[in-house]
Amino acid sequence: MWAAAPLLLLLLLLLLLPLARLFQRGAARLEPAGRAVLITGCDSGFGHLLALRLHRLGFTVFAGCLCPGGDGARRLQREAGGAGRLRVLRLDVTRARDVRAAKELVLSHLPERGFWGLVNNAGISTFGETGWLPMETYEKFADVNLLGSIRTTLAFLPLLRKYKGRIVFMSSIIAYFTLGNGVYSMTKAAIEKFCDALRLEMKKFGVQVCIIQPGNYARSTKIQPPLSAEEIWSELSEEEKAVYNKEYVQERANFFNSILSEGSTNGSEVVDAMVDALTSPAPKARYMVAKLKEKVLVFVCALFPTVVMDSVLSYALSK
């Protein structure tokens, strides 16, 4: 009897947690006025859309752009109506001095309610089988997608602890499986584990950490443009060209480009989740924003033996 007590307690908690969250979510939402949020990767895509949405809601927005003089940054300033509560700043998350400068700017322009949120949105993606990519590509992806988010988070942790704010990370359902973009999947799986550690550690400070897991929204962002087989072939080493032929590379490129073409164009769905993570009285630890078939794939990957998932993905690749 006593041996079953921990299991019964766990089942009881699983039943009560949804009810507790329901009561919490019924509480008043956050008042945005006088609160600052820094977003990385605002040149285009989700970061661009989120900066505009938060600005309309009343937040003071610091929009980090890789190219502050580029078309995306200029369009962002026009759409926000010029200066005021939205500031565009140069922020390359791979450069420590950019991150330091961003923190100094935020500190010198903090509104009355202080620093509320950090959104680690900046990221890059590419396609290619493991041996096709040079070591420099792996290093670049780790620096942007993983270390860039960590670098920015560590810089702003003191402010977030002080104001009991929120940290939002952009992950992906690709953290659970890969279909020809293993380098991107690798970085997203790593950032998920970083977030899991950070979320538990920040609870004692009242700081909440949330992960956004979009499905295929390639047509809503510029993170992954289509690739030509010729472009891929020209980048292969002589050793890889000796193993693969152009026809195989063409097949892989066609397969990956077909996935990109099926991506959702409704990026506002992902932005809705990001806004909820920043404003809800009871934000979720993870927001999966994906089609039903994508969620099923994640479910199979998480709960079934690896051999089952390998069979499913191998079948998809063979088609």
How many residues in the chain? 319
Torsion of CA 33, 38, 41, 44, to 10 degrees: 10
In whole angstroms, give the CA distance from residue 220 to residue 45: 6
How buried is 37 (Cβ within 10 angstroms: 0-12 exposed, 13-18 middle, 19+ buried)?
buried
Exposed, middle or buried by CB within 10 Å (0-12, 13-18, 19+), for 150? middle
For 134, residues 6+ apart whose C-beta sits below 8 A from its C-beta are 237
Query: Treating both helix axes as pointing N-terminal to C-terminal, what angle do 182-202 and 148-163 enclose, rounded to 10 degrees?
Result: 20
Q: How far is CA 109 from CA 99, 197, 212, 285, in A?
A: 16, 31, 28, 30
Find the catalytic residue in 138, 163, 176, 184. Answer: 184
Annotation marks residue 176 as catalytic = no
Confirm if 122 and 98 have CB atoms less than 8 A apart: no
The radius of gyration computed from the CA coordinates of the chain, to the nearest angstrom, equals: 21
Residues marked as catalytic: 184
